[in-house]
Structure 1
Amino acid sequence: MTAQCGMAIPFLSQEVHSAPLPSATVLVLRDGSTGLEVLMVRRHGNAGVLGGVHVFPGGKLDAADGQVAAGALDLTPQACVARLAESALSADEAVALHVAALRETWEEVELVLGMDAWTRSRQQSLEERIGQGQDWAAAMQTEARRIPVSALVPWSRWITPRLPSVSSKRFDTRFFLARLPSGQTARHDGHEATEAVWLSPRDALERFWADDIELAPPQIMSLVALSRFRDVDAALAHAQGRRPPLIEPHPFDRDGCRVICYPGDPEHPVSEPAWQGPTRLTYRNRRFEPDGGLTALLA
Structure 2
Amino acid sequence: MELNHETIDTPPRDSASVVMLRDGAQGLEVLLMRRHADSAVLGGAYVFPGGKVDAADASADMLARLDQPPALLHARLGEPGLTAQQAAAFFVAAAREAAEESGLLLLQRGDDEIALHSADACARLRAGEPLAALLAAHGARLDTDALAPWSRWITPRRPSVMNKRFDTRFFLAAAPPAQQTQIDDFEVTEARWLTPRAALQQYRAHEIDMAPPQIVSLLHLMQYRDVAQAMADARSRTPPLIEPQPVETPETRVLCYPGDADHPVPQRALPAPVPTRLLWRNKRFEPPQGFAEFID
* Fold equivalence (TM over 0.5): yes
Q: What RMSD in Å do the two structures reach over aligned CA positions?
A: 1.9
Aligned-pair distance for 1:130?
7.1
- The amino acid of 1:279's aligned partner reads T
- Equivalent in the alignment of 2:203: 208
Aligned-pair distance for 1:95?
1.4
Gapped runs of 5+ residues in structure 2? none
Cα distance in 2 between the residues matched to 1:122 and 1:36: 23
- The amino acid of 1:71's aligned partner reads A
The answer to whether 1:229 aligns with 2:224 is: yes
Cα distance in 2 between the residues matched to 1:128 and 1:259: 43
Does the CA contact (< 8 Å) of 2:107 and 2:140 recur in 1?
no
Q: Paired residues, what number?
A: 290
Aligned-pair distance for 1:113?
1.8
The 3 A distance-change label for structure 1 pair 194 and 128 is closer
The 3 A distance-change label for structure 1 pair 126 and 239 is closer
- Equivalent in the alignment of 1:287: 284
* Secondary structure of 1:72's aligned partner: coil
* Secondary structure of 2:199's aligned partner: helix
2:97 to 104, 110, 130: 104
The answer to whether 1:278 aligns with 2:289 is: no
2:64 to 64, 67, 71: 71
Cα distance in 1 between the residues matched to 2:19 and 2:42: 17
Cα distance in 1 between the residues matched to 2:126 and 2:286: 42
2:135 to 108, 117, 140: 140
The answer to whether 1:81 aligns with 2:78 is: no
- The amino acid of 2:106's aligned partner reads L
Does the CA contact (< 8 Å) of 2:108 and 2:141 recur in 1?
no
Cα distance in 1 between the residues matched to 2:105 and 2:64: 19
In the superposition, the TM-score normalised over structure 2's length comes to 0.92
Cα distance in 1 between the residues matched to 2:205 and 2:129: 44
Does the CA contact (< 8 Å) of 1:68 and 1:137 recur in 2?
no
The 3 A distance-change label for structure 1 pair 201 and 31 is same
* Secondary structure of 1:101's aligned partner: helix
Does the CA contact (< 8 Å) of 1:224 and 1:298 recur in 2?
no
Does the CA contact (< 8 Å) of 1:141 and 1:147 recur in 2?
no
Gapped runs of 5+ residues in structure 1? 1-7
The 3 A distance-change label for structure 1 pair 160 and 130 is closer
Question: Residues 182-202 of structure 1, C-alpha deviation per residue, up to 9 Å, x if partnerless?
Answer: 211112110111111100111
The 3 A distance-change label for structure 1 pair 122 and 211 is closer
- Equivalent in the alignment of 1:52: 44
* Secondary structure of 2:64's aligned partner: helix
Aligned-pair distance for 1:268?
0.6
Aligned-pair distance for 1:255?
0.7
What does 1:11-22 align with in structure 2 at a 5 Å threshold?
11-13=4-6, 15-22=7-14
2:120 to 101, 121, 124: 124
Cα distance in 2 between the residues matched to 1:122 and 1:187: 9
Does the CA contact (< 8 Å) of 1:39 and 1:198 recur in 2?
yes
- The amino acid of 1:109's aligned partner reads S
Does the CA contact (< 8 Å) of 1:290 and 1:297 recur in 2?
no
The 3 A distance-change label for structure 1 pair 168 and 126 is closer
Does the CA contact (< 8 Å) of 2:196 and 2:222 recur in 1?
yes
* Secondary structure of 1:9's aligned partner: coil
Cα distance in 1 between the residues matched to 2:22 and 2:2: 35
Cα distance in 2 between the residues matched to 1:10 and 1:283: 9
